[in-house]
Amino acid sequence: MNERTTPREDGELTGTSVGIVGGGFGGLSAAAHLAEAGADVTLYERRSEVGGVASRLERDGFRFDTGPSWYLMPETFERFFERFGRRPEDYYELVRLDPNYRVFWDDGDRADVPADPAAAAELFESYEPGAGEAFRRYLDDAEDAYEIGMGRFVVPGRSRVRDYLASDVVRSGRGLTLLGTLDDHAKKYVEHPKLRQLLEYTLVFLGGSPYNTPALYKLMSHVDFGLGVYYPQGGMYEGVEALAAVAREQGATIRTGTTVTGIEPGGDRVAVDTRPTEADEDRDGGERIVHDRVVCAVPPEYAERELLPAGATRRLHDRLPGTGDYWEGRTYGPSAYMCYLGVEGDVEPLEHHTLVLPTDWDPHFESIFKDPRWPDSPAFYVNVPSQTDPTVAPDGHETVVVLVPLAPGLDDTPERREAFRGKILDALHEHAGVDLRGRIVVEETACISEFASWFNKPHGSALGLAHTLTQTGPLRPGQRAPGLDRVYYAGGSANPGIGMPMCLLSGEHVADAIREDVGGGGVIERALPGR
């Protein structure tokens, strides 16, 4: 497919040709921002549809979002659309969920986490005397961290060490908890392990654990309790289609079914080698397209190892003796075992978002980050969008997605996956009281090998680089490929990081980096909506 509309004639980047490799949230955002600035943009997507991991699966009247299913930080989406004179509601209807989610523990306990923070404080108080007030203080602390982190660091796109030396940034940094883990920080407020789980579970969105993620990510509790959890009617893929529409409206060309086989920088241009995805690799049919600049909206490790010439990038790390390969020393976020199930009958008492947790989840995190193995007592997530949106399942049926975080790089043979499927269905029945066996009429699965082969994710990680202290801020890959002119990065493994809102911002940041490098006016002033 090759679609575009009329490009702008009066932008700062008019006359600049930009190729974008990868059509996930980061690539689509970059396409929209660059085309709006006047660049001649062509986005190359290997699959038949854009979205990357955030794709859609349709079978026999069931509609599944294959990747992200939590619509968080709505103001970041609003900010994106506002840049182009649009609003989210121009493309999809947004519904706020209440409760945010339901939790089942393996000791028979369950809790609904309400959308109202005051009601959530009452829930905390019911588990531990004084925890309600501690929760309010924690949320105040989390909101401060969010305002400072987003307003001073994330939204302005500070991806280089020198960006952190400005006096206003140094002053702001004093308001952030930079040392210690999130679990260490949460313990200062509440002692009950279940309450700490409620404050820490959002780290799954960042690809980390409570024991390796910096305390500054307490800001995620403000995202959860302060900003709310939403759902776009029709499914999360409505957001993908909206981004693609905006990019095309700005003049970007989107070429799906096109595999990029190589990127070759040279002088003042960058060549992109492509072939039709369905073409025989051993036959002719490839095409070389030359651009002024190229954005890699695929994992940076994949770009450097598979697309760019060997040794093309240069990092300080590479010049230090005894440090080894840069990418071998990275910590990757979890992969996932995914089940997409079309189920006959109701699935009460599952909510739109449901967590099934062991009371002691330490062994599961250890199985991901310390001793990689398939977990014995897994913590997992169940998404039932048909509880909110009847259009995603036939009458009398429910759409159910099960996600179990796993260590990347595990061997996921069919036999291993089938045995694990039985374990998860047993746990769902035992802990949540829902027996799906005998009622599944549609079933698809994905796991480590699919994330590696379908999306070029290193080691089959579902998320990319985790948000550890040494992989956050300027220590995370930035917008500019190190040591290379005219090649850039966007997406979840680049700064600012994992998640749809962060990938939206990464597309904006990379457009600003190109604008700055071309000399067309530098970086625009950024602010949060309403500020």
Q: Is the dihedral of CA 230, 236, 238, 244 positive or negative?
A: positive
pLDDT of residue 151: 72
Cα dihedral 143, 148, 150, 154 in deg (nearest 10): -150
pLDDT of residue 473: 81
* Cβ neighbour number for residue 272 with a 10 Å cutoff: 22
Contact 206, 499 (CB under 8 A): yes
User: Which of 17, 73, 26, 38 shows the shortest CA–CA distance to 479?
Assistant: 26
Digit-by-digit pLDDT tens for the chain (531 residues) are 445 444 455 678 999 999 999 999 999 999 999 999 999 999 999 999 999 999 999 999 999 999 999 999 999 999 999 999 999 999 999 999 999 999 999 999 999 999 999 999 999 999 999 999 999 999 999 999 998 878 766 766 554 444 444 444 444 444 455 568 899 999 999 999 999 999 999 887 778 888 888 888 898 899 999 999 999 999 999 999 999 999 999 999 999 999 999 999 998 999 999 999 987 666 667 899 999 999 999 999 999 999 999 989 988 666 566 567 889 889 999 999 999 999 999 999 999 999 999 999 999 999 999 999 999 999 999 999 999 999 999 999 999 999 999 999 999 999 999 999 999 999 999 999 999 999 999 999 999 999 999 999 999 999 999 888 888 888 889 999 999 999 999 999 999 989 999 999 999 999 999 999 998 444 443 434 332
Helix (H) / strand (E) element for 420: namely helix 414-432
E-only strand ranges, 312-391 = 335-344, 353-357, 380-383
pLDDT of residue 217: 85
Helix (H) / strand (E) element for 506: namely helix 500-518
For the domain 2-52+247-329+467-518, what is the CATH code? 3.50.50.60
In total, the chain counts a number of residues equal to 531
Distance CA 486, CA 519 (A): 13
Report the DSSP pairing between strands 40-44 and 253-255: parallel
116-227: CATH topology is Guanine Nucleotide Dissociation Inhibitor; domain 1 (1.10.405)
Domain spanning 332-455, CATH architecture: Alpha-Beta Complex (3.90)
Q: Give the three-state DSSP class for 530.
A: coil
User: Which of 489, 531, 527, 530 shows the shortest CA–CA distance to 154?
Assistant: 527
pLDDT of residue 322: 58
* Cβ neighbour number for residue 130 with a 10 Å cutoff: 12
User: Which of 492, 45, 49, 510 shows the shortest CA–CA distance to 294?
Assistant: 510
User: Which of 9, 4, 80, 73 shows the shortest CA–CA distance to 42?
Assistant: 4
Domain extent listing, the chain: 2-52+247-329+467-518, 116-227, 332-455
Distance CA 285, CA 273 (A): 11
Distance CA 104, CA 431 (A): 6
396: burial class by Cβ within 10 Å (0-12, 13-18, 19+)?
A: exposed
pLDDT of residue 414: 96
Q: Which residue has the tokens 């497919």?
A: 1
Q: Which residue has the tokens 């978002």?
A: 353
Contact 301, 459 (CB under 8 A): no
Contact 223, 500 (CB under 8 A): no
Look up residue 485 and give its two tokens.
């002119």
Instruction: Provide the 8-state DSSP code for 205.
Output: G
